[in-house]
C-alpha cells in the first residue's frame, strides 16, 4: 500500500461521501476501489474483510474499518477535528448525529418510487428548515464564532457544510431564512482544503443518478 487510506465502495456518494469529505477537509489524499459487481462484494465477504458484511470499507493505519460512524470518529480524532476535551466531543457528536439524521433522508431519496418523490422532497425541506438548520443558525448567532464548537474547525463543521450543499442541490433557496448559515457556507467553501474538494475533478461524487441507483441495487439487493 502507498500509505494513503483506501476506500472501497460504489462510485457514488452513499455512506462513503462523508468519509471523502472529512479526509479531504483534513487535507488527506486517498485511493478508491469502486464496487461494480455483486461478485466483488461477495468476495469481500468471503475473504472476511467486512466485519458485518457491509461497506463502506476504509483501510487505514493497518486496519480494515467498517461502520461509517466508527470510520468518521477515527479520522476526526486522528486529524485533530474532534474537539479539545470530552465536552466539546459530546457537542460535536450531537451535531453530527443530527446532521446524519437529515442526510439519511437525502441518502434514501434516489431510491424512493417516482410517486413518492415529491412528498419525500417536501419532508426533507420541512425537516431542514424547521428542525435541523435552526439549531445551527442559533448556535452560530449565540456564540458569534466562525465554527460550531470551540471556535475551531471540527468534524461538525465538515458535516454541516456537506449537508447544506447537498440540500441546496434539491432545494436551492433552503438557506433564505438563515443568514448565519449563509455566511458559514461562504466561510467553509473558501477554506483551502474544502475549496479544493469542491473543484471539478476532485474525488467528490456528483448527485446520484439512475445509473448509480441501478448499480447499488444490482450489488446489494438480496
| Model confidence pLDDT, tens digit, residues 25-73 | 999 999 999 999 999 999 999 999 999 999 999 999 999 999 999 999 9
pLDDT at position 203 is 95
Confidence of residue 221 (pLDDT cuts 50, 70, 90): confident
The residue that leads in pLDDT, 1 or 211, is 211
As a whole number, mean pLDDT of residues 173-199 equals 97
Angstrom distance (rounded) from CA 217 to CA 152:
40
As a whole number, mean pLDDT of residues 188-213 equals 95
pLDDT at position 88 is 97
pLDDT at position 222 is 73
Task: Say yes or no to pLDDT of 2 above 80.
Answer: no
Nearest Cα neighbor of 149 from 110, 108, 91, 107 is 91
The per-residue pLDDT for range 90-104, each reduced to its tens digit, is 999 999 999 999 999
Confidence of residue 1 (pLDDT cuts 50, 70, 90): very low
The per-residue pLDDT for range 117-176, each reduced to its tens digit, is 899 999 999 999 999 999 999 999 999 899 999 999 999 999 999 999 999 999 999 999
Domain locations along the chain: 6-79+198-211, 86-191
* Grid cell digits, residue 39: 461478485
Distance of CA 72 to the CA centre of its chain: 9
pTM of the shown model = 0.95
**Maximum Cα interatomic distance, the chain, rounded to a whole number of Å:** 52
SS (H, E, C) the chain: CCCCCEEEECCCCHHHHHHHHHHHHCCCCCEEEECCCHHHHHHHHHCCCCCCCCCCEEEECCEEEECHHHHHHHHHHHCCCCCCCHHHHHHHHHHHHHHHHHHHHHHHHHHCCHHHHHHHHHHHHHHHHHHHHHHHHHHHHHHCCCCCCCCCCCHHHHHHHHHHHHHHHHCCCCCCCCHHHHHHHHHHHCCHHHHHHCCCCCCCCCCCCHHHHHHHHHHHCC
Angstrom distance (rounded) from CA 222 to CA 219:
9
* Grid cell digits, residue 185: 457556507
Q: What is the CATH number of domain 86-191?
A: 1.20.1050.10
Q: Name the CATH superfamily, with its identifier, for domain 6-79+198-211.
A: Glutaredoxin (3.40.30.10)
pLDDT at position 20 is 98
Mean pLDDT of the chain: 95
pLDDT at position 3 is 86
pLDDT at position 108 is 93
Amino acid at each position: 500500500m502507498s500509505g494513503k487510506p483506501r476506500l472501497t465502495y460504489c462510485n457514488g456518494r452513499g455512506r462513503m461521501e462523508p468519509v471523502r469529505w472529512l479526509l479531504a477537509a483534513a487535507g488527506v489524499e486517498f485511493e478508491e476501489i469502486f464496487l461494480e459487481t455483486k461478485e466483488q462484494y461477495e468476495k469481500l465477504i468471503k475473504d472476511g474483510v467486512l466485519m458485518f458484511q457491509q461497506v463502506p470499507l476504509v483501510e487505514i493505519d493497518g486496519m480494515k474499518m467498517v461502520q461509517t460512524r466508527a470510520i468518521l470518529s477515527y479520522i476526526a480524532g486522528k486529524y485533530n477535528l474532534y474537539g479539545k476535551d470530552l465536552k466539546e466531543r459530546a457537542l460535536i457528536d450531537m451535531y453530527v448525529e443530527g446532521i446524519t439524521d437529515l442526510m439519511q433522508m437525502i441518502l434514501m431519496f434516489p431510491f424512493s418510487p417516482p410517486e413518492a418523490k415529491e412528498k419525500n422532497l417536501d419532508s426533507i425541506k420541512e425537516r431542514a428548515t424547521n428542525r435541523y438548520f435552526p439549531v445551527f443558525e442559533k448556535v452560530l448567532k449565540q456564540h458569534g464564532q466562525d465554527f460550531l464548537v470551540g471556535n475551531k474547525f471540527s468534524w461538525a463543521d465538515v458535516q454541516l457544510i456537506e449537508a447544506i450543499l447537498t440540500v441546496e442541490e434539491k432545494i436551492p433557496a433552503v438557506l433564505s431564512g438563515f443568514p448565519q448559515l449563509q455566511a458559514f457556507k461562504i466561510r467553509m467553501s473558501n477554506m483551502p482544503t474544502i475549496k479544493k474538494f469542491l473543484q471539478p475533478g476532485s474525488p467528490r461524487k456528483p448527485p446520484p443518478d439512475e445509473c448509480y441507483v441501478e448499480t447499488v441495487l444490482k450489488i446489494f439487493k438480496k
